[in-house]
Structure 1
Amino acid sequence: MPHTTDIDADVLGHWLDKNDAPGQGERPQLELLTGGSQNTLYRVRRGAARMVLRMPGARADTARVDGLLREIRLVRALRGTDVPHAQLIAADDTGAVLDKPFYVMAEIDGWSPMGGGGWQAPFDTDLEARAGLAFQLVEGAARLGSVDWRGQGLDGFGRPDGFHERQVDRWLKFLSAYQVRELPGLDVAAEWLRRNRPAHYTPGIMHGDYQFANVMYAHGAPARLAAIVDWEMTTIGDPLLDLGWALLGYDGENPVTEGFYLDMTGMPTRSALLAHYEKISGRPTDDIQYYLVLANWKLGIMLEKTYAASLAPDSKVDPAVAAAMGPMVPQLMATAAELTRTAGGA
């Protein structure tokens, strides 16, 4: 049964009609999908039509509201592109309709590896089909990074100039606000990144947290990417960092056999994935080692915030998540440092 919500269904229905949303004339039924201080998601039903409404949570601060406005701008820009995503149906930037900005998107009929603890059938047993999931993940990154972001109205969405020059100092400052333990490998990787950053790069849309956890796949084989989701960290930066993020399950040519949050058995070689990315994007991947170091190092810093929060007396972090972060962050730092030793460079 739909959950009780604070949203006036009649007001929403009138607005949906004005914006030519599916289910014209039908009174919407709302079902709470996720709710929290940051974001709230509702499934919206109008007859046979299914949509999803996204808005800031009840206690969201100004930064979260501004973040949602950025998301609205981004999903508008993705209209008409070949990037798999939940198509925007309509958006209210002003907050005049429901007292907060929100947007309504198409509901994706698909599955996430994080939704049920791993690969859905047939990918749980069919390793040849499973390999296609990795190719599709990499292809999604290639398509996103190839969007004509200026032509799609995203000038000013990020600061591509000096992107790599800012990375190390920015994330070390971020970490300094909450670091609670020594992280061996942190400084080794940081110094290597300073010395080996790319001299030139072609800016593009960068998701910022691009991995299996943030995509949805269509049901059944062959593998098909249905949607990229969770755009909170998206900016105009270096799209090759998304590729590095997509390869987090690799510390060499072959996928890792342990320590990753998914079973990578049967996945393609790294070289095969790089070749596929180059074919789709036209971007060379010669400097991939830099992006792999940066991806592991940066993710470790991001996840350390969750671990640090879990140590607070009033922590609301899921104990299972906290237990996973304990060893995962040092492993990411160790991997980043080890990759610098195998990469060469200055």
Structure 2
Amino acid sequence: MTSTHIDVGAIDFAALGAWMDAQGLPGGPIIGTAPVLGGTQNVMVRFERGGRAYILRRPPMHARSKSNEVLRREARVLAALRDTPVAAPRLVAAQTAREPVFYLMEPVAGFNPSTGLPEPHASDPAIRHRMGLEAAAALAELGRVDPAVLPGFGRPEGFLERQVPRWLRELDSYGELDGYPGPDIPGLPETADWLIRRTPRTFTPGIMHGDYHFANLMFASDGPRVAAIVDWEMCTIGDPLLDLGWLLATWPSNSGHVPGLPPPRDIIAYYAALSERDMSAVEWYAVMACFKLGIVLEGTHARAYAGKAPRDIGDLLHATTLELFGRAREFMEGALG
């Protein structure tokens, strides 16, 4: 969610306070400023004003080319989800008309399992087991939201048919990096062919998170409930079952420190009980997620050959890519059946 090196003093809090006044938010001095540490390059700072706590999310001081547009999309998504039952951070107000784009949201009362488990979670296996089911429940809730709340967002027409060609093109583009010998990924062509032949012919469009796994979930401090799904920058209108596939593809390796989670079959069954979506091709979505994520991670491996990423990180992610394609093979052979 943020960079680990945040110069809070570089933020113009006087200007922020004036903007908050114009939004009709409680006034007074801004106090208790502190960086919120997490995963991406966007900046998040917690502060209090007028007896209310906020999280400010804005681009880094040296913004990337798409930083502001990403935050515009996030703010739009959070605004659309604000009045739904979806476990998303609650948007307070957003400044999207000029750059830098930023928004304020309410702090989430909870924890991310990638940083470890508090009590009672650490010592209660029933809570840990239930956390996995609650991850499926929160995803099913998102899948029930009418995508009409985000008009013009994404391109659901032909969404599934575009996936394999889109990611094969991405893989081909790595060949432009100096020194990269090309993808050494056993099972790559067979997996692509399997996906193309079995692409579901129809689906019901819905809101997709786009990167749904445990590291992007915050859980309630007092039990297994998902308190918030975070990091919405990949959100689009597509097929929500691909989010379920993403959860299965990363299960349980991306769950942080949560032993005793239910097996993938139980996740699928729990999601199916809460959703009216057609689950007959669930293996396809899991294989597609392995295929896409594996190709995304291979990009860092390719950049490492070109000296644009650390070689040890590139090698580690290449090994993860091979694991994902191995998992895809297991799914193709009926591991979820």
TM-score when normalising by structure 1: 0.85
Counterparts of 1:103-252 in structure 2 under 5 Å?
Answer: 103-114=103-114, 116=115, 118-150=116-148, 152=149, 154-178=150-174, 180=180, 181-221=183-223, 223-249=224-250
Q: Distance in 2 between matches of 1:266 and 1:100?
A: 43
| Contact map agreement 2:30 2:47 (CA 8 A) in 1 | no
The equivalent residue for 1:301 is 295
Q: CA deviation at 1:59?
A: 2.6
Cα deviations by residue, 1:214-233 (Å, 9 ceiling, x for unpaired) = 11001132x01000001111
Counterparts of 1:38-117 in structure 2 under 5 Å?
Answer: 38-46=41-49, 48-95=51-98, 99-114=99-114, 116=115
Q: CA deviation at 1:170?
A: 0.4
Residue type of the alignment partner of 1:171: W
Cα deviations by residue, 1:113-148 (Å, 9 ceiling, x for unpaired) = 22x2x4443333422211111111111111111111
Which residue, out of 5, 26, 38, partners 2:9?
A: 5
Which residue, out of 327, 330, 335, partners 1:335?
A: 327
Residue type of the alignment partner of 1:93: T
Q: CA deviation at 1:167?
A: 0.1
Gaps of 5+ in 1: none
Residue type of the alignment partner of 1:241: L
Cα deviations by residue, 1:83-118 (Å, 9 ceiling, x for unpaired) = 0111000000112xxx4111111111211122x2x4
**RMSD of the alignment, in Å?**
2.6
Which residue, out of 9, 18, 23, partners 1:19?
A: 23
Q: Distance in 2 between matches of 1:314 and 1:165?
A: 32
Q: Distance in 2 between matches of 1:301 and 1:58?
A: 30
Structure number with higher helix proportion: 2
Q: CA deviation at 1:29?
A: 5.1
Q: CA deviation at 1:47?
A: 5.1
Gaps of 5+ in 2: 1-5
| Contact map agreement 2:57 2:102 (CA 8 A) in 1 | yes
**Alpha-carbon spacing, 1:310–1:41, altered in 2? closer, same or farther (3 Å):** farther
| Contact map agreement 2:297 2:318 (CA 8 A) in 1 | no
Q: Size of the alignment, in residue pairs?
A: 325
Residue type of the alignment partner of 1:39: N
Q: Distance in 1 between matches of 2:276 and 2:163?
A: 25
Q: Distance in 2 between matches of 1:100 and 1:335?
A: 41
Q: Distance in 1 between matches of 2:263 and 2:129?
A: 9
Question: Identical aligned pairs, as a percentage?
Answer: 39
**Alpha-carbon spacing, 1:310–1:108, altered in 2? closer, same or farther (3 Å):** farther
Q: CA deviation at 1:234?
A: 0.7
The equivalent residue for 2:3 is none
Q: Distance in 1 between matches of 2:132 and 2:145?
A: 21
Report the secondary structure of 2:174's partner residue.
coil
